[in-house]
């Protein structure tokens, strides 16, 4: 492929003092997160971020800001999302960025932005944070999709400002961030009206936008700010978050990046580029974790469960964006399983404390990120491991788990109450429920099992895929990884996207399973990205030329 | 694209006397449908159908045979699917056919074969017909996917015969006919074992196949036939179908194909190729329909509800395969709505009679075929229409419905009990429930409405998208169709695949929404279909070369 606007390597650590595109202000229980994209501050110089259009860098800041509100500002109970540009809320993902990006970059960009929007809904559902989109001007494409992720949408009624999804009529692609799904499944816009809405480039404004359920209310410009402020205070009033701070401070993640490794305090990612294999090693706590809310609060971002999953999250994101050729990831753990289980006991005992709750939901979101990472994951459970409780979720999330069965080297894994539904997948089931869809009673059997599972017990219970002995281990693991690495990476991506999500589908899985898959298909099609495709032709004097064959 | 093995035009009328690939035999309540594919009788001479591999022509016969068993042989209560080839059940879709096919052909081939397999499950769920796959030899890819559609799978245990999904390791694509979904969602194979199974080309055989839930039982060759026969009789014993015949005869559909039209007794498809628009007109009954089971049985395939939907089904299939450039389909009806409603009353009054039940489920499947047809459907409701009850489902299935509101020309639509859930979509909801996801009480309101809906009432109730007056009608309809025809056909396909299926997902919608979308993506990727892709290289001396980037 020709030179692209892909901007590797991406750094996902975006502290507020480096924000270019967002302003956060707090007024009592209401935070206002204002989009003010700097045109010349895109990740790549190949495009300019006009009209509050965004690229991955803009979204990394948004994701960071949302995270910080949750952890650093517990006294914030509602968030207003708006824009500092005059008469423009957001024009959506930058088209010139998309046009210049490789297929893989487009797909990963959409995946990350989807996760950010789902994190907004997660905060609303689980953290007592409500979101109000205050659309002070035109709101197109990804801009409207961002609004759709909020609990409510207010639109200024000025005869001009409209919400729209112009991707189909203008660009020949789909809204890439859940827009179609949320329009019909979340806001329950009638499907025929959704069809009209999604095919008129100019969108829908004013009272019709309310009647069609596209927004919750419209106000003339003169009354807009007051209406937004009043509604934000109402939304804030129902929160169960603490009335006052302080929160904790999320310090730098501190990734140490070298040629073939990324190292953190409790996570290590090592890359064997010639084999296209990475090893992701998670280390258990070096000492007993804090056990009281006060001590946890004092530990802040050094509280091991939060720290290790922040590092894991960063490692997964770097893998996705910066290491596209790594096809297989070996998941390992090292440390004292007793300390991991003790940490789980703390997470369970104080699960309603706001900071513990935030930590748990962050762990949940990171594990979902792993479920959605298009790489093959193989867990290797070896002596010295600490696949216990929350960390055993890594093995459950893996495509397969291998456990060494050598009587001379004791080896075990363990479950905890954290495996019982507190870390659900995006389909709403626990990973144990998904694993035992064919044998539901087994879920309780393994959760009530006393003590750890040795390799034979783990295999018999169905908790690991295979338990080779020491004679077979090296060959079996090596051959498995080699075999995987030889398969078509695209076929594996599709295979995993299907096998990892049995059982029910939710709005979330529909976005990643149905909408994203169709979008990825379209992102490959000559009618979009070919020489005369609509995405290619956009912004030029040329009109797109289509192959009219319907597929 | 270079010359392909696409074989247009396809004729979907395949009466048994023209079967080349299947043998049907009946022994009491058990039918045996045996695959015996003739190598040189593919739809195109470009490939040979070795080892019971199949192309669209083979599947058209299978779909026909299944239909005939339901309608013509009510005394059949169980079906054994097996093969007449020695030690080969079925090698799956023919790879050389796939390799030579255009993208659109591959996609439509998979869609049709998926519908055929879902029809097997529909017969099991609703028609008292149980299916036993008797795998008398190797069963690979699409062969195993056909088995997965059956209620039970028996595999011969001869040290050699295995079930397999070798698409990923050998071809770099996915099983295209629901295999991955059914493995984890229907048979509830543990997802890690499903991952192993789907990546080993040689598959799984013998007792391990039972342990992994891939098959229900294995038997040595010496006992296989007896075990199959005994189990088939057991499955037949639980049926609620009539103990004896006769059934009805499904005569030729009798499509009259001309250059720009396909005409049937009650359906007409006219093609305006320059506008890429077709008009599909469905005519109501010319006379009152038969009202008693005896008279219906005597009318046989002339019973209007069955006849009109057989014709509609044929028209939709011809559109899909033979008219790829037609992007928009205008749905119209003509006739006496009173007679349509009278037909609905008959379908409702005798809904438990086997033939009426078959007719209703056939109507349901045809409407699902429409939901899944990748063309834009606009219903035009004009004076003289008979959009009533079952035929109003066509308007509900359409992406939009326009109703002329002209006081000088009375115009109405009507509902019936048939709109109340007897014709569910593949997501399990009625089309009214889907339409009113955002306002569930409206479903009962419109169902209990007395009499027909005039245009204003229909618009107010949300039953039509727009109700233009006679001054606006021509322009609005024309501009709408022109606007639609100007959009990227791929973007529209993705848009419709998302907007048409709000609400819950089922195994069926997962197959079409998630699995198919990923498969279509992969079917576009150079790693599969490029010069050095795995599908291209298969069967040659060359090894595939992959771009290792994961997406």
Residue contact A462–B544, C-beta within 8 A: no
Question: Does position A2 have pLDDT exceeding 60, yes or no?
Answer: no
Nearest CA in chain B to A195: B399
Q: Which residues of A touch B399 (CB under 8 A)?
A: 191-192, 195
* Minimal CA separation from B346 to chain A, in Å: 30
Q: Do A551 and B520 touch (CB under 8 A)?
A: yes
Report the chain A residue with the minimal C-alpha distance to residue B212: A438
Q: What percent of chain A lies above the pLDDT cut of 90? A: 98
The H-or-E segment that residue A90 falls in is strand A88-90
Q: Please tell me the predicted confidence (pLDDT) of residue A394.
A: 98
The model's confidence at residue B176, banded by pLDDT at 50, 70 and 90, is confident
**Residue B331 · residue B378 · CB < 8 Å:** yes
- Whether residue A549 and residue B324 make contact (CB cut-off 8 A), yes or no, is yes
DSSP-based three-state secondary structure for A181: helix
Q: Least CB-CB distance to A493: which of B520, B546, B550?
A: B550
Write down the pLDDT at residue B356.
Answer: 98
DSSP per-residue codes, A119-149? HHHHHHHHSS-EEEEEE-SEEETHHHHHHHT
Q: pTM of the predicted model, to two decimals?
A: 0.97
Query: What integer is the mean pLDDT of B357-362?
Result: 98
Question: To 10 degrees, the CA torsion angle through A15, A19, A22, A24?
Answer: 50
Among partner residues A104, A400, A490, which is closest to B195 by beta-carbon distance?
A: A400
Contact call for A502 and B528, based on CB within 8 A: no
B462, A525: Cβ pair inside 8 Å? no
- Position B541 scores a pLDDT of 86
With CB atoms and an 8 Å threshold, state whether B495 touches A436: no
Place of tokens 């299907």: A498
Nearest CA distance, A437 vs chain B (angstrom): 6
Q: Residues of A with CB below 8 A from B533's CB?
A: 488
Look at B398 and A192 and tell me if their CB atoms are within 8 Å: yes
Average pLDDT over residues A177-190: 98
Q: What are phi and psi of B286, to 5 degrees?
A: -80, -20
**At a CB cut-off of 8 Å and minimum separation 6, what does B474 contact?**
none
State residue B223 phi and psi, 5-degree precision.
-110, 0
In this predicted structure, the answer to whether residue B1 has a pLDDT above a threshold of 90 is no
Taking each helix axis from N to C terminus, what angle separates A103-126 and A354-371, rounded to the nearest 10 degrees?
150
What distance in Å separates residue B544's CA from the closest CA in chain A? 9
Q: Which own/partner contact pairs does A18-27 have at CB distance under 8 Å and 24+ positions apart?
A: A19/A61, A19/A64, A19/A65, A20/A57, A20/A61, A21/A49, A21/A54, A21/A57, A21/A58, A21/A61, A21/A62, A22/A58, A22/A61, A22/A62, A22/A65, A23/A84, A24/A65, A24/A68, A24/A69, A26/A73, A26/A75, A26/A76
Separation CA B111–CA B99 (nearest Å): 17
Residues of A in contact with B489 (CB under 8 A): 527, 546-551
**Whether B548 and A189 lie within 8 Å, measured CB to CB:** no
Q: What is the mean pLDDT of chain B?
A: 97
Residue B343 has a pLDDT of 98
Tell me the shortest Cα–Cα distance from B278 to chain A, in angstroms.
13
Q: How confident is the model at residue A105 (pLDDT cuts 50, 70, 90)?
A: very high
B504: how many CB neighbours lie within 10 A of its CB? 15
Longest Cα pair distance anywhere in chain B, in angstroms?
77
Supply the mean pLDDT for chain A. 97
Residue of A nearest to B274 (CA): A548
Shortest CB distance from A181 goes to which of B172, B375, B498?
Answer: B498
d(CA B179, CA B147): 9
Sign of CA dihedral A54, A519, B172, B529: negative
pLDDT digits (tens, 9 = 90+) for A307-336: 999 999 999 999 999 999 999 999 999 999
Q: Which residues have a Cβ under 8 Å from the Cβ of B448 and sit 6 or more positions away?
A: none
Cα of B529 to nearest chain A Cα, Å: 11
- Among A329, A460, A495, the residue to mutate for chain B (most B Cβ within 10 A): A495
Q: How many CB pairs under 8 A join A and B?
A: 293
Q: Are A495 and B167 a contacting pair, CB within 8 Å?
A: no
**Using the beta-carbon criterion (under 8 Å), do A550 and B499 form an inter-chain contact?**
no
Kindly tell me the number of DSSP H helices and DSSP E strands found in chain A: 22, 19
Contact between B517 and A522 using a beta-carbon 8 Å cutoff: no
| ipTM of model | 0.96
**pLDDT score for B4:** 82
Pair A120, A83: CB distance under 8 Å: no
A191 vs B171, B195, B499: nearest CB: B499
CA distance A517 to chain B (A): 5
| pLDDT tens column, A124-133 | 999 999 999 9
Average pLDDT over residues B13-40: 96
Cβ atoms of B417 and B487 closer than 8 Å: no
- Kindly list the residues from chain A whose CB atom is less than 8 angstroms away from the CB atom of residue B546: 488-489
Q: Which residues of B touch A436 (CB under 8 A)?
A: 190
Kindly report the three-state secondary structure assignment for every residue of B433-452. HHHCCCCCHHHHHHHCCCCC
Q: Name every residue whose Cβ is closer than 8 Å to that of residue B258 and which is 6 or more positions away in sequence.
A: none
8 Å CB contact of A192 and B488: no
Query: In this model, does residue B314 exceed pLDDT 60?
Result: yes
CA end-to-end distance (rounded Å), chain A = 25
A198 vs B contacts (CB less than 8 Å): 495, 499
Tell me the C-alpha distance between A334 and A328, whole Å. 20
- The separation between the first and the last C-alpha atoms of chain B, rounded to the nearest angstrom, is 25
- How buried is A352 (Cβ within 10 angstroms: 0-12 exposed, 13-18 middle, 19+ buried)? exposed
- The percent of residues above 70 in pLDDT, for chain A, comes to 99
pLDDT tens per residue, range A52-79: 999 999 999 999 999 999 999 999 999 9
What is the chain A residue with the closest CA to B275?
A548
- Across the interface, of B192, B438, B494, the residue whose CB is closest to A188 is B438
Residue A4: what pLDDT?
Answer: 82
From edge to edge, which strands make up the β-sheet containing B400-403? B256-258, B261-263, B267-272, B277-283, B328-334, B376-381, B400-403
Number of neighbouring beta carbons within 10 Å of residue A255:
17
User: For B295-305, how does the pLDDT look when each residue is reduced to its tens digit (9 = 90+)?
Assistant: 999 999 999 99
- CA-nearest residue to A183 within chain B is B499
B181 to chain A: closest CA residue = A498
Q: How many CA atoms lie within 13 A of A74 on its CB side?
A: 19
pLDDT at B2: 47
pLDDT band at A290 (very low <50, low <70, confident <90, very high): very high
By C-alpha distance, the chain B residue nearest A325 is B549
Q: Which residue from B minimizes the CA distance to A372?
A: B551
State the Cα–Cα distance between residues A341 and A391, nearest whole angstrom.
Answer: 9
Residue A176: per-residue pLDDT: 87
* Minimal C-alpha gap between A103 and chain B (Å): 8
Q: Do A519 and B494 touch (CB under 8 A)?
A: yes
Q: Which residues from A are below 8 Å from B495, CB to CB? A: 168, 174, 180, 195, 198-199
pLDDT tens digits, B502-549: 999 999 999 999 999 999 999 999 999 999 999 999 988 899 999 999
Residue of B nearest to A543 (CA): B486
Tell me whether residues A521 and B490 touch, CB distance under 8 A: yes
Cis peptide before A59 (omega within 30 of 0): no
- Which residue carries 């059934």 as its tokens? B247
pLDDT digits (tens, 9 = 90+) for B426-480: 999 999 999 999 999 999 999 999 999 999 999 999 999 999 999 999 999 999 9
Strand, coil or helix: what is A116? helix
Mean pLDDT of A242-248: 95
pLDDT of residue B3: 55
Q: Return the pLDDT at A3.
A: 54
Q: Which residues of B touch A401 (CB under 8 A)?
A: 192
CB contact under 8 A, B518 and A528: no
């Amino acid at each position: 492929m020709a030179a692209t606007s892909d901007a590797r390597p991406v750094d996902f650590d975006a502290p507020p003092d480096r924000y270019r595109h967002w302003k956060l202000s707090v007024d009592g229980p209401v935070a206002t997160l204002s989009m003010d994209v700097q045109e010349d501050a895109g990740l790549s110089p190949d495009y300019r971020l006009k009209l509050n259009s965004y690229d991955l860098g803009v979204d990394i800041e948004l994701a960071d800001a949302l995270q910080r509100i949750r952890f650093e500002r517990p006294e914030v109970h509602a968030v207003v999302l708006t824009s500092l540009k005059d008469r423009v809320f957001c024009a959506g993902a930058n088209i010139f960025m998309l046009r210049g990006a490789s297929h893989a970059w487009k797909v990963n960009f959409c995946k990350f932005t989807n996760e950010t929007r789902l994190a907004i809904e997660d905060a609303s559902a689980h953290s007592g944070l409500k979101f109000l989109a205050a659309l002070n001007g035109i709101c197109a494409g990804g801009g409207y999709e961002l609004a759709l992720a909020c609990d409510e949408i207010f639109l200024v009624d000025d005869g001009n400002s409209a919400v729209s999804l112009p991707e189909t009529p203008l660009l020949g692609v789909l809204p890439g961030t859940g827009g179609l799904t949320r329009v019909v499944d979340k806001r329950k816009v009638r499907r025929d009206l959704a069809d009209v809405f999604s095919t008129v480039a100019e969108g829908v404004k004013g009272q019709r936008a309310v009647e069609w359920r596209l927004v919750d209310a419209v106000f003339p410009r003169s009354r807009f700010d007051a209406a937004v402020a009043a509604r934000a205070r109402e939304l804030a009033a129902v929160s169960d978050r603490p009335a006052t701070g302080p929160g904790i401070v999320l310090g730098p993640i501190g990734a140490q990046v070298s040629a073939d490794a990324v190292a953190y305090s409790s996570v290590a990612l090592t890359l064997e580029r010639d084999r296209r294999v990475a090893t992701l090693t998670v280390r258990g706590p070096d000492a007993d974790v804090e056990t009281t809310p006060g001590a946890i609060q004092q530990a802040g971002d050094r509280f091991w469960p939060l720290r290790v999953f922040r590092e894991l999250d960063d490692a997964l994101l770097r893998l996705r964006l910066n290491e596209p050729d790594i096809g297989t990831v070996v998941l390992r753990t090292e440390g004292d399983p007793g300390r991991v289980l003790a940490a789980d006991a703390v997470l369970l005992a104080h699960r309603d404390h706001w900071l513990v709750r935030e930590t748990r939901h962050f762990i949940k979101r990171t594990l979902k990120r792993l479920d959605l990472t298009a790489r093959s994951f193989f867990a290797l459970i070896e002596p010295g491991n600490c696949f216990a409780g929350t960390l055993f979720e890594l093995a459950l999330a893996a495509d397969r788990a291998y456990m060494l069965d050598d009587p001379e080297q004791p080896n075990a894994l363990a479950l905890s109450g954290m495996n019982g539904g507190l870390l659900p997948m995006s389909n709403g089931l626990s990973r144990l429920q998904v694993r035992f869809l064919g044998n539901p009673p087994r879920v309780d059997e393994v959760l009530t099992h006393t003590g750890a599972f040795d390799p034979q017990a783990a295999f018999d219970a169905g908790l690991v895929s295979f338990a080779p002995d020491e004679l077979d281990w090296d060959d079996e693991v090596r051959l498995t990884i080699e075999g995987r690495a030889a398969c078509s990476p695209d076929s594996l991506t599709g295979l995993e996207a299907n096998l990892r999500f049995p059982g029910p589908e939710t709005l979330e899985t529909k976005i990643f399973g149905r909408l994203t898959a169709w979008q990825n298909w379209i992102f490959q099609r000559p009618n979009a990205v070919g020489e005369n495709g609509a995405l290619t032709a956009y912004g030029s004097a040329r009109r797109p030329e289509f192959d009219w064959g319907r597929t």
